[in-house]
A and B are shown apart, each in its own frame.
Chain A
């Protein structure tokens, strides 16, 4: 499991993303966005921790 994302790393990631994607960011939201990126990554790692066999496919058709 990779270490938790640090505040500095999250800020760096946000700045790089903003530049590469042409998605400007309001300066007053920069810290809040970075915090939410870190939070999202914690959740994403939890999802990634589930071992799924390669043949598992999305159950995209749901018949209630």
Chain B
């Protein structure tokens, strides 16, 4: 069973759950493989033998007792050494952090994987303070690429990617600020997931750039990535930027057709700065996904520059005290980049403004996916080569961009349901229901055919006093458009029974914590002239 570590996570969990093997055998094999191969690869910085074997036995015991240890039963995994792990100081690749008190508890994502039955076997190598793309580290030596030990694994999550690529573990957890999952996935030939910002909680991990840090998994198959991601999902109050969204399982949806997904390749800066190999890979994926016409992300070069400056300034701010007191304890490469950034004004307004978050520059804003080679523009360079010349941080613009989803089918369905409910209430003269669908605010307004109402109270009063309710009517050409998850506009034509004049109605819907509400409404009858 020595080769069990080469199995993917799904296969291991299936074998363990069906008792064809045991978690203890799988985890022992992983520990043995790490012991044998880590001296050459340098991807693990701490191996948790006792803890891992204890956890594995506990998984087996649960199975023996008829229990279910979870969908990742017996799957060994490692974490980049910026995750808190009970009993270890959280190094984040540094020498300075060795002096921190050992973490008293595991990071939330570590706990979630273990709750799903996975077994933590160790912590993994990285660039100091996650500031780099090579995992060459003056304190702990260079991380190696398992495909060619003379080359770098990429970074900053190089140890985590190399451990998966080498088959030491099927899963690792890592972080990505400007590409630290995307770059090493590319360099090591595996899959990595940088989720949407705010989707996975970062509680009890060592931060780098609060505004840009993401946590996510590495795996050798997309199925494993989905399996792992599903176990990681869910809000946690310990990370103030973690979104309050319901869990959306992705594993059951992996085989769904891509109907309705419009895909574009990003041109401009992304194409101009990419190497031939990256462009070939993008073209292959674009063909497979039947990508439409290319599209342009406005200000991509400037967005990359903003990410560069935000990163340097935030990093310098975070490490200011140590820059003063412990200069000699930094990796020289980090010190030279952090020092000059400490007085940089954070370009937050430019870097994070809505103007840059609108998505593609052209009018085709209904794209749901955009493709670009954001990593590995150049070949994996030899380890120890000149560290200055590289173009690996091409993920920055995408990190900064939250493309607005226009007409997300789920959101359109929600707004459509509200629109219909409103119309039904209008025809039933259910005044309570009608009033309840307006935003309870003095800023809400409604222009009626015969009245102008400012504020929720005025609207409620009008409803209560309207004799006989609204005239009966039929609708035509209803048009509903949504922007993002929380904003939609409903427009419709209507024909009242007592008049030949065509009516028009517009409602602006916004999702509040209490649900969808109308914040502005306009009803009018068409005149004879403009």
Contacts and interface: CB of A to CB of B under 8 A. Distances in A.
Query: Interface residue tally of chain B, by bracket?
Result: 35 or more
B111 interface: no
A1 interface: no
Given A35-B336, A36-B340, A64-B197, A52 B327 contact: no
Contacts, number: 105
B343 A57 contact: no
A20 to B, nearest CB: 9
A47 B350 contact: yes
A2 interface: no
Interface string B330-352: 00100111011111100111111
B318 to A, nearest CB: 15
Contact of A57 (B323, B347, B349, B402): B349
A3 interface: no
Interface in B377-416: 402
B309 A40 contact: yes
B33 to A, nearest CB: 37
Nearest to B339: A33
Contacts of A50: 299, 302, 350
Q: Which DSSP category, helix, strand, loop or mixed, fits chain B's interface? A: helix
Nearest to A20: B343
Interface residues of A, number: 34
A32 B339 CA distance: 10
B215 interface: no
Interface in B473-487: 484-486
B82 interface: no
Interface stretch (B97-105, B287-295, B353-361, B439-447): B353-361
Contacts of A28: 332
Contacts of B312: 40
A44 B323 CA distance: 22
Given A36-B339, A59-B354, 6 more contacts: A26-B328, A33-B336, A48-B347, A58-B348, A62-B241, A64-B402
7 smallest CB-CB distances across A and B, nearest first, come from A37-B340, A32-B336, A46-B305, A64-B196, A43-B305, A59-B354, A43-B308
Interface of B: 196-199, 241, 243, 245, 299, 301-302, 305-306, 308-309, 312, 323-324, 327-328, 332, 335-337, 339-344, 347-355, 357, 402, 484-486
18 contacts: A23-B339, A25-B339, A26-B327, A35-B336, A36-B339, A36-B341, A40-B312, A40-B341, A40-B344, A44-B347, A46-B301, A47-B347, A56-B349, A58-B352, A63-B243, A64-B196, A64-B243, A64-B245
